[in-house]
Amino acid sequence: MSRKGLILLLFRRKKDRIFALLIKKYTGYFPKNLGLYRQAFVHNSAINKKDSDKLSNERLEFLGDAVIDLVVAEFVFRKFSGKGEGYLTEMRSKIVSREQLSSIASKLGFEKLLVLSESLKNPKNINLYGIAGNALEAFIGAIYLDYGYDKARKFVIKKLIKPFIDIEKLDSLYENYKSILLQWGQKNRKVIDFKLIEEYSDKNLKYFRVGLFIDEELLVEATNITKKKAEQMASEKAISILQLNIWDFKLS
């Protein structure tokens, strides 16, 4: 049977055929359960609370989040064979960060597929960027339910990580948060300073609590077993608070 004939047989309604082709474009295969993928784009605001037959993407998002975590954990485990648990955890968090997923979802055009309430369709009223990231997680949950873990794993690695995430550049971020913040401070004439607030011992380990100050005002604190790591952690928190785009800075 021809490709066109197969589509006509599986999806009789025109809008279903169009949507099924879109899913195939994203995943490489036709969906078995088209409803799962439709649900992946339905924001909670679009659900009539009295209509129990319709579901938002929240449950699929929960499932997709878990699938992504497992896939990326295995990916970094295999790619960085000589690295310890702390490094692997850090790398996984960078890959699956809200910023990364939302950026990828936007590049895939997921914002255009979102189903929202009328009051939220105005971009000024809501952060579509973040909602698209949630939809991407739900989409992966849909793939998992429709075709299983192997297909979901291949989608995350081949369709998300390899095309959109520069692993080598991301790897260099591990020790560069402080550098990025200092560059931002120099560019914006802000004085960045790190001060040791507290030093204490617990279970034979020494801990350092460091405060990050901008123009002599405390912004964030972080604690670790070395001052250097505490400063890096504080810098990462500050970058998130200041909403800096890390890719705009030179990484040493």
pLDDT tens-place string over residues 126-182: 668 889 999 999 999 999 999 999 999 999 999 999 999 988 877 766 567 888 899
Instruction: For residue range 2-33, list pLDDT tens digits in order.
Output: 555 555 556 677 888 889 999 999 999 999 99
Q: 45-82: per-residue pLDDT in tens?
A: 888 765 555 789 999 999 999 999 999 999 999 999 88
pLDDT value for 10: 66
Residue 190 lies in a domain: yes
Alpha-carbon gap, residue 102 to 135, rounded angstroms = 9
The one catalytic residue among 65, 69, 74, 99: 65
201 in the same domain as 157: no
Residues 146 and 194 in one domain: no
Catalytic residue among 137, 146, 171, 231: 137
99 catalytic? Reply is no
Beta strands in 63-157 (DSSP E): none
Q: Is 231 part of the annotated catalytic residue set?
A: no
The pLDDT value recorded for residue 93 is 82
Question: Do both 130 and 240 map to the same domain?
Answer: no
- The β-bridge partners of 214 are 192, 217
Say if residue 131 is in the same domain as residue 212: no
This prediction's pTM: 0.69
189 by Cβ neighbours in 10 Å (0-12 / 13-18 / 19+) ranks as: exposed
247: amino acid identity, one letter: W
Domain count of the fold of the chain? 2
User: Would you say residue 205 lies in a domain?
Assistant: yes
